[in-house]
Structure 1
């Protein structure tokens, strides 16, 4: 019975450490994804700010949206093909 009680706290400690590592990894992943999103949006915003008129800004934004949707469709198609 003594071996069992000794293993209990060790297993609990190991589980807590594993949970903490998992939490840290998820948090790091969240920060990486947020930073990437911020960089992309800042780049698009800078490109839109370079446009000479409101009409050009809107046209440029429509092109960004069309390009992004095309990328999303291709990514979805690739994932569908990979899962089949």
Structure 2
């Protein structure tokens, strides 16, 4: 939303500037999280690609899943004990 000043020039309202800033901040956060996810998944895939057989790939994947679930439980427990 814009409004005209007495001199006839348009000026963005504070709400529009704030909305644009919030949108830009969320977009940056989204891109950062997406890049982090891609980096992690690419690392896991590289590790799986190093395995010598399909069976070893599946065994390794199960190990990754178990480690991730254990990590998630630890983080969740910590958040319950120390809420922000």
TM-score (norm: length of structure 2)? 0.84
Query: 1 or 2, which has the higher strand percentage?
Result: 2
Within 2, Cα distance between the matches of 1:78 and 1:19?
Answer: 34
- Match for residue 3 of structure 1? none
Deviations 1:35-81 (A, max 9, x none): 00000001100100000000100010010000000000000000000
Query: 1 or 2, which has the higher helix percentage?
Result: 1
Structure 1 residue runs of 4 or more that deviate by more than 6 Å after TM superposition? none
Tell me the matched-pair count.
Answer: 76
Structure 1: segments with no counterpart, 5+ residues: 1-5
Q: Over the residues paired in the alignment, what is the CA RMSD in angstroms?
A: 1.8
TM-score (norm: length of structure 1)? 0.84
Structure 2: segments with no counterpart, 5+ residues: none
